[in-house]
Structure 1
Amino acid sequence: MGERHNIHAVLNALERGQRFLVSAHARPDGDAVGSMLACAMIIEQLGKQADMVSCDRVPLIYRSLPCSSAMRQAVRVEDEYDAVILLECDGIERSRLRGLEGRFLINIDHHASGRNFANVNWIDTEACAVAEMVYELAMVAGVRITPEMATCLYTAVLTDTGLFCYDGTDAHTFELAAELARHGARPAAIAKDVYFSHPTSKMMLLGAALSNLRREGRIAWMWVTHQDMLRTSAAEEDCEGIVNYAIAIAGVDVAIFLRELSTHRVRLSLRSKGQVNVARLAERFGGGGHQHASGCTLDGPLPDATEIILEIARRTLNAAVHEVA
């Protein structure tokens, strides 16, 4: 009943307004990009105007998505809007956009770390991706799911479920994927665009990370330095997914990828096979995400950040083992 009430509150806000801004968290991933694009398409089908803004550029592997070229990169919002829709954010700070204070905000999120910070809040932690919620919004709004919209939403679902590998992937997830395919999404073509279109810089950065791979029991970690980023001409988006090579190791339950931003800051990507809720680890440092995939930023230098997260991972994993025992 509560979720149904919240989706109608979102729809009512869309019906009242005429001009909307759609955004998501900084460093947008596939779910953020695909859901932003589909949300804007819904608004435009309703006869309204939708602008898409992100503080970071669209990653290369998502630039083939329909209408992705319409997404603007900016650090401040200046124009007037009837409402700002924020996807996958637990606060306006997560978007890293300035100028959102005091505006009418619509918050749509599926993370367990979601908060009721906006004027309208719709949080559904049972959704496999925020794209599932955007799809449901389209259904309730009565708009047509075009092949372009289906492509964006399928891409979002595919990437946010880890190619349908993460816990929470169930029959309903595949039913959603099947519906999007019926509406025109082409699964093989989308998978090719997302997983077989990486730049050479990413492969070189992956080589640097794998050369630093370490393992301690059920924990594996690897890192790249700022110099590694410069040497390989890698962009920030090239770091996405590298941690999955560590979690893929047999017997590893927690994987950590550290990227040196500067001598004082380190960005972490965390993965788990189930025993450890890495979202809780990330939340301790102001980050967040999913139970099995999350991220955060720690104070540097890199060796200190590595030891801090390893010690917490060790304690958390040991506690999880004792709980099971």
Structure 2
Amino acid sequence: MDKLDNIHEILSAIEQSDRLLVTAHARPDGDAVGSMLAMAMVLEQLGKQVDMVSCDRVPPIYRALPCAPRIRQACKVEEHYDAVILLECDGIERSRLDGLEGRFLINIDHHVSGRPFGHVNWIDQKACAVAEMVYDLALAAGARVTPEMATCLYTAVLTDTGSFCYAGTDMHTFELAGDLVRHGANPMVIAQNTYFAHPESKMLLLGAALSNLRREGNVAWMWVTHEDMQRTHAAEEDCEGLVNYAIAISGVEIAVFLRELPDRKVRLSIRSKGVLNVANVAESFGGGGHHHASGCTLPGPLPVAEEQILACLSTQLGLRLQGQHVARAV
């Protein structure tokens, strides 16, 4: 089934629905938030009643986006909806929302780990962001791309391409960005709101992470403990993007950021400059993502999680990585 067929199938399902719920994966990033907002705007132009729900709150840097306060934080969905649109999820579990079982599901995803779990599925691994797919859907539906919609979509594209740095960024990506600017997105304002509006807690947490930075060959990794999170008064969203400081090191090809959760499980963010498909690494631990950016959660504790991810990378890269630094530090 090609893209036009996918879009037609989704629009047909939307046409038959009066009330829809839009959600995305837990710990929403810029693509999840921006695409949720833009999707809701499209649906409302089509005369639909729309709610947006996330199990986690919108990160502070995205709360200035148009209509962002309308995203309701909840753990369970109890209201009636004719259809639920899930963005960037490989299953309903990825949303961490209870109450989605047995509902009519529309699945829109661009991850290489995407799965056709919905009643209607559109998975396009070539899309630079799910926002690109929402934009195509909006055009096909005849919706007007307002400045507010363009702002949400541009933010999504900017963040999910790593500021147009990740593999897959091509001429089409910049054409999409250009279209969104023509529709009213302001690149300077969006960049300032995204990159120059972090809370102090994130900077303090970054300091803690960098103090734990380790490197062996072309692999770098760093971590924060639950105590670090408490000491810096950091929220979960403050961890977003910290791994990029490790991958930014000259000569480093693979970077890992480990975050200890309150229950001592360990959340991993993994990045690659292209030498390794880190989506495969994450999938081996039950996670997923993109070739260059992925994530997963390990049972912990932190020293064991470090040993596990380094052992996996050692096998993949043919290196011998020693994972004893966390054990000595915690």
TM range (shorter): over 0.9
Aligned equivalent of 1:265: 265
| Superposed displacement of residue 11, structure 1 | 0.4
1:57 aligns with 2:60: no
1:123 aligns with 2:126: no
| Superposed displacement of residue 263, structure 1 | 5.7
Aligned equivalent of 2:327: none
Aligned equivalent of 1:209: 209
TM-score (norm 1): 0.97
Instruction: Number of aligned residue pairs: give it.
Output: 319
Consecutive unaligned residues of structure 1, counting only runs of 5 or more, are 320-325
1:6 aligns with 2:6: yes
Contact 1:90 1:117 in 2 (8 A): yes
1:316 aligns with 2:291: no
The Cα offsets for residues 253-302 of structure 1, whole Å up to 9 and x where unpaired, read as 10000001146400000000001111111111111111101110001111
Aligned equivalent of 2:164: 164
Counterparts of 1:235-314 in structure 2 under 5 Å?
Answer: 235-262=235-262, 264-314=264-314
Aligned equivalent of 1:105: 105
User: Which runs of structure 1 show a deviation greater than 2 angstroms over 4 or more consecutive aligned residues?
Assistant: none
| Superposed displacement of residue 30, structure 1 | 0.2
| Superposed displacement of residue 316, structure 1 | 0.9
Provide the rounded CA distance (Å) in 1 between the counterparts of 2:202 and 2:262: 20
The Cα offsets for residues 135-194 of structure 1, whole Å up to 9 and x where unpaired, read as 000000001000000000000000000000000000000000000000000001000000
Equivalent residue letter for 2:126: E
Contact 1:147 1:185 in 2 (8 A): yes
Instruction: Supply the RMSD in Å over aligned alpha carbons.
Output: 0.9
Q: In structure 2, do the counterparts of structure 1 residues 141 and 134 end up closer, same or farther at CA, with 3 Å as the change threshold?
A: same
Contact 1:263 1:300 in 2 (8 A): no
Equivalent residue letter for 2:173: T
3-state SS, counterpart of residue 153 of structure 1: helix
Equivalent residue letter for 1:265: K
3-state SS, counterpart of residue 275 of structure 1: coil
3-state SS, counterpart of residue 22 of structure 2: strand
Provide the rounded CA distance (Å) in 1 between the counterparts of 2:99 and 2:302: 33
Provide the rounded CA distance (Å) in 1 between the counterparts of 2:76 and 2:176: 35
| Superposed displacement of residue 318, structure 1 | 2.4
1:87 aligns with 2:115: no
Provide the rounded CA distance (Å) in 2 between the counterparts of 1:272 and 1:137: 30
Consecutive unaligned residues of structure 2, counting only runs of 5 or more, are 320-330
Aligned-residue identity in percent: 73
TM-score (norm 2): 0.95
